[in-house]
Amino acid sequence: MQAETITPTTTDFDAAARDAVYRAIFNRRDIRGQFLPRPVPDEILARLLTAAHHAPSVGYMQPWNFILIRDAERKARIRDLVCRASAEEVRHIEDARQVLYRSLKLDGIIEAPVNLCITCDRSRTADAPLGRWHNPEMDLYSTVCAVQNLWLAARAEGIGVGWVSILDKDELKALLGIPAQITPVAYLCLGYVSDFANKPELENKGWRKRLALDELVFSESWAGNGEAPLKTLIKSA
C-alpha cells in the first residue's frame, strides 16, 4: 500500500505581514516615562482585550479576567503601593547599584490613561485538570501568554505598555476587591507615548545587557554541544 503523501503547510502571511509580526516583537518596549495624556479609544481597547483573550491556554482553560482602572484616585492609591514596595526592594539591591536603581522610573501608573490588571482564576478549571495535573502552574503561564498577546497587539496599535511588578499582591487584591481564589498576574499601564526607544530602557540606563542567544541554545541535553550551523545563523541575525 502506497504511503499517503502529506503536503506540509506553508505560510499564508505575505512578506510584509510576516515582517510586521517580527517588528512588533523586536520593537516592543516596557514603557515607564513616555506616556501622553491622550485617551485610548474604546475600539482599540476592545481589540487589545480580544487579542489577549485569544492567547493559548493549557486545556483551553482561559483563566484570565481583566480589570480596567481609569479613576485618578484609585491609580494614586496603587502608586502608593509601588512606592512602598520600591522602598523595600531597594534595600535588597547591592549598595553600588542603589543610586542607579533610585534613578530609574519604575512605573507610569499616574501618567498612563488606562491601567489594566490581568488576573488568573485558579479555580476556573479545577474539575478539568487537563495539562495541569502534573504542572498546576500552567494556568498562571497561560495568563502570561494573554499578557504577551496584548502587549504585541498594543505595539502594532502604537500603544505603549508598562508592566508594574513592584507591588504587594495582597495589598493590590484588597484595593481592587479581588476574590481570594484569584491571583493578580500583571498590572499594566497603557497609553499613547512620545516615542518607543531603540533599546529597552534598562539596557539604555546600564542596568543589564541582552544576553547572547547563541550561548543559551543547547543540543539534546543541558549544555549539550551541537547546533553549530543554527548558532552561526543566530549570531548573524
What tens-digit pLDDT sequence spans the chain (237 residues)? 566 788 888 889 999 999 999 999 999 999 998 999 999 999 999 999 999 999 999 999 999 999 999 999 999 999 999 999 998 888 898 888 988 889 888 899 999 999 999 999 999 877 877 878 888 899 999 999 999 999 999 999 999 999 999 999 999 999 999 999 999 999 999 999 999 999 998 898 888 999 999 999 999 999 898 899 999 999 988
CA distance 176 to 110: 16
> Are residues 68 and 33 both part of a single domain?
yes
Domain match, 224 and 124 both: no
In three-state secondary structure terms, 121 is: strand
**Within this chain, do residues 218 and 143 fall inside the same structural domain, yes or no?**
no
Please tell me the pTM assigned to this model.
Answer: 0.92
Does 131 lie in the same domain as 221?
no
Residues 163 and 234 in one domain: no
217 with 131, same domain: the answer is no
Phi first, then psi, for residue 127 (nearest 5°) are -90, 0
Indicate if 114 and 216 belong to the same structural domain.
no
Does some domain include residue 46? yes
Return the biggest CA–CA distance within the chain.
Answer: 73
Question: What is the enclosing helix (H) or strand (E) of 62?
Answer: none
- CA distance linking residue 214 with residue 224, whole number of Å: 13
What are 159's strand-pairing partners? 192
In a domain, 221, yes or no: yes
CA–CA dist 176, 193 (Å, integer): 26
Instruction: State the helix-helix crossing angle for 138-156 and 15-27, rounded to 10 degrees.
Output: 110
Q: Are 124 and 213 found together in one domain? A: no
pLDDT at 3: 66
Q: Other CB atoms closer than 10 Å to residue 181's CB: what's the count? A: 11
Are 42 and 96 found together in one domain? yes
Same domain, 194 and 211: no
**Half-sphere CA count of 44, side-chain side, radius 13 A:** 16
Q: Are residues 166 and 147 in the same domain?
A: yes
What pLDDT sits at residue 2? 65
Segment holding 139, helix H or strand E? helix 138-156
Looking at the structure, do residues 68 and 178 belong to the same domain, yes or no?
Answer: yes
CATH code at position 193: 3.40.109.10
Give the domain extent around 66: 29-199
Count structural domains, the chain: 2
Residue (of 93, 107, 108, 111) closest to 207 by Cα position? 93
Specify the pLDDT at position 128.
76
